[in-house]
Structure 1
Amino acid sequence: MAEFREKGYLVLPGVLPAEKVARLNAAVDEILAGEPDSLAYNIYNSVERHPEIAELIDEPTVLPLIVNLLGYNIQLHISHLTIRKPNPNNEKTASHSFINWHQDGPHPQFPRIGGVTSTYYIKTCYILSDMSQPNRGNTKVLPGSHNKPFQPQHTDVNGVLEGEVQVCGRPGDVFVFAQNLWHSGAPNHSEFTRRQLFLGYSPIWMRPIDYRTASQRLLLDATPIRRQLLGVIDENPFKYYVPGDALLPLKSLYFGGGEHSVYE
């Protein structure tokens, strides 16, 4: 908790076993087989694209951490798959080969108090390819930039910002970060293809990015916890804003001392 509070991100090694990584990569191959060939892909609502990816919605090795960082009144906010093939010439693509420095959020941005944006949601990034070295299209971050008034000297990802870190990891590692952490998607000048799968979680009163309501296919045979994460708790809309504990099975995973608040 303290490290996340200070840095705005965590790298969790060896979360997924090799067999699960292999199944996820096979699912990615199936998805890409139906897409036009490209140097880069940003595929949103990924949980709808393959059941293997949907299984990560309530991944038991990661979900308790998210609940205790963000609270238990949460849902799945976004799921997107990013692929970055080797691109030594920085060719532009329709799906963006790289993304400049930014904080995640809507337009206009989340409100700031004293120049600081609060943490409204948290993303998990499942690393599916060998990202153990920099310059493979790694995600860049500025540790601690979520906690202070900050405006980068420039937003061009090709330039180097003081204190920037390229997040490295091996297949099966998980990278967790706050939406208000300044980050970017770097170009890939290596011989490796970047494969990263992001699932984000937000308070249940926020409108999710992937869908207006979860599909019946996703809800089929869903456990109470998964139903909550898919945004289904009660027919009364007011309960999404002020839910009773009985409507929030994720509370069973919560160890914090308070009712809500980020990283107690």
Structure 2
Amino acid sequence: MNPISNPGAFTELDRFMFESWGYLIIPNVLSEEEVSECLEASIRLHESAGTSGWAQVGKGYETEVSLERLIDHPAILPKVRALYGDRFILQSAWCTKQPAFGGMGGWHQDGSGAYDFQKLGYPIPLVQLRASFLLTDQSVPRTGNMELIPGSHRSQVRLPDSIRAARESVPIGHVICAPAGSVLLFHNAVWHRTFAHDGDYDRFTMHYIYSPPWVRCSDRFENNQEFLQRTTPTRRYLMGEFSRPDAPFGASYPTEFENE
């Protein structure tokens, strides 16, 4: 069983699957040529950063046009908009490398180290929606796949610490198998981990994380002004460069109180 969706519009079935499982798998988003361009860009990013082992590099869209195009990809953005409405930002974008013969990752939920999202309420709200573009083939297990626990974003209990510490398997773990060019779209509260990678090549995935407009960005302290000047209006908006749509504090008070 797989929660398979089609590129583009967020259908009623998409919504049901996403609410039930916490994620969608979207095949055939990128062409072979686009995958090749994005993979080459990802390799350049990591070589420039001098990374080794498991690593991630942020803000690749600032220098790599092929990665910039994915920010508002028409196969993905309608689904993000359907889940968030019209006001959301690109909170961060990370190019992740799992090295050849990489081991199993640890179980976790996405969130902030400064403030655990579970403190916000139950169920944990959608604060980070991740779109992961697979840039190397993951159509069989043990190729650096993502493993998720379906429906765990709705669980009232956390994954046992003993399971997390030992990085053990769980009976309902779902190893995502999909070819390069596919996208995995998932809720921050779904328990997940990186699966083992037996290949003799590095595995690359490009992650775009969308959030409500009040969430602090995590791949940058401020936006690159040169990037903002050359990119599109939609992408500038997604970088958080827009006027506040809500009234500033105190705007509804009578004018005689404005200076007090």
TM-score (norm 1): 0.80
**Aligned pair count?**
230
Which of 84, 106, 113 does residue 121 from structure 2 map onto? 113
Structure 2: state its 5+ residue gaps: 1-14, 249-260
Aligned residues of 1:44 and 1:79 also touching (Cα < 8 A): yes
Distance in 2, matches of 1:24 and 1:31, equals 10
Shift of 1:112: 4.5
Distance in 2, matches of 1:86 and 1:242, equals 51
Which of 193, 203, 212 does residue 202 from structure 2 map onto? 193
Cα shift readout 1:205-233 (whole Å, capped 9, x = no counterpart): 11111123311122123332211101011
Deviates more, 1:140-149 or 1:31-40: 31-40
Name which one, 1 or 2, has greater alpha-carbon Rg: 2
Deviates more, 1:50-59 or 1:171-180: 50-59
Aligned residues of 2:49 and 2:57 also touching (Cα < 8 A): no
- The alignment's C-alpha RMSD in Å is 2.0
Go from structure 1 to structure 2 and tell me whether the alpha carbon gap of 1:159 and 1:220 turns closer, same or farther (over 3 Å shift): same
Go from structure 1 to structure 2 and tell me whether the alpha carbon gap of 1:199 and 1:56 turns closer, same or farther (over 3 Å shift): same
Determine what percentage of the aligned residue pairs are the same residue.
26
Distance in 2, matches of 1:38 and 1:189, equals 17
Shift of 1:15: 0.5
Shift of 1:188: 1.8
Go from structure 1 to structure 2 and tell me whether the alpha carbon gap of 1:161 and 1:213 turns closer, same or farther (over 3 Å shift): same
For 1:151, the aligned partner's letter is: R
Structure 1: state its 5+ residue gaps: 91-97, 244-264
Go from structure 1 to structure 2 and tell me whether the alpha carbon gap of 1:118 and 1:6 turns closer, same or farther (over 3 Å shift): same
Shift of 1:46: 2.5
Distance in 2, matches of 1:242 and 1:72, equals 17
Which of 52, 59, 75 does residue 66 from structure 2 map onto? 52
Q: Which residue matches 1:82?
A: 96
For 1:226, the aligned partner's letter is: R
Which of 103, 111, 119 does residue 109 from structure 2 map onto? 103
Corresponding position: 1:34 with 2:48: yes
Distance in 2, matches of 1:87 and 1:8, equals 29
Aligned residues of 2:45 and 2:57 also touching (Cα < 8 A): no
Which of 228, 241, 245 does residue 232 from structure 1 map onto? 241
For 1:144, the aligned partner's letter is: G
Shift of 1:156: 4.2
Q: Report the 3-state secondary structure (helix = DSSP H, G, I; strand = E; otherwise coil) of the residue aligned with 2:79.
A: helix
TM-score (norm 2): 0.81
Which of 137, 149, 155 does residue 130 from structure 1 map onto? 137
Shift of 1:69: 1.7
Cα shift readout 1:3-58 (whole Å, capped 9, x = no counterpart): 01110000000011111111111212322332436232211223234222112111
Cα shift readout 1:68-115 (whole Å, capped 9, x = no counterpart): 022221010111011112226x4xxxxxxx53111111133012435x
Q: Which residue matches 1:8?
A: 22
